[in-house]
Amino acid sequence: MEEPGRPDETPEERDKAKIARFSQYVLSAEAWFRIADELGAAMELLEPQIERFWECFRADAGVVEKKDSEPPPNHSLINVHMMLAGFAIENLCKGHLAGHLTWKERKKVEAGELPKCLDGHKILKLARRTGMTLSEFERDLLARITDVILWRGRYPAPLSHDGIVPFPQWDGDIGRIKTFLQKLRAHVGAKES
């Protein structure tokens, strides 16, 4: 929805105001971090259902004794949770990177254009660009989350058959994601939400 302007505002004035607002949002680490907080809050809403899914999975596999007669959830929501996590990670990284833009990149933003360094969803690359040191497990987690961002969390299939590959999901991923988000928040200077 377009924000209303003044009734006497010219199209050029309206564009100038939109570019100024765009620039203000893109250059504000806090704006990026606020969206990451919202995505994190949405993730937390899904976690009980995912835990219930894994509990039923372990019971069906005979790993643990079934605790109740409640039916398993219709949807695991694992990929949706990971997609939200990926978008939160992306926003935390981009918030940090927005504060470290070159003069030329800032001028681009002030002209209404998103610089290439803030474009895309490859969170492993974004995390590395923040200067964060990543363990092998974190690199694996970010690679899997990137796959979910690109298609598993949104579509039934990738852009090509080449994308159909084994995809491990672990019941400990919620904890791994939370731990990584805390580490990333500390690294980029985002306050806990």
Residue 5 has pLDDT above 70, yes or no: no
**Rounded CA gap, 181 and 165, in Å?**
26
Residue 73 has pLDDT above 60, yes or no: yes
Half-sphere exposure of 128 (CA within 13 A, CB side): 9
Instruction: Give the C-alpha distances (Å, rounded to integers) separating 170 from 9, 138, 143, 187.
Output: 55, 14, 14, 25
Give the SS3 label for residue 52.
helix
Residue 3 has pLDDT above 70, yes or no: no
Mean pLDDT of 111-134: 95
Supply the pTM of this predicted model: 0.89
Q: Write down the pLDDT at residue 175.
A: 95
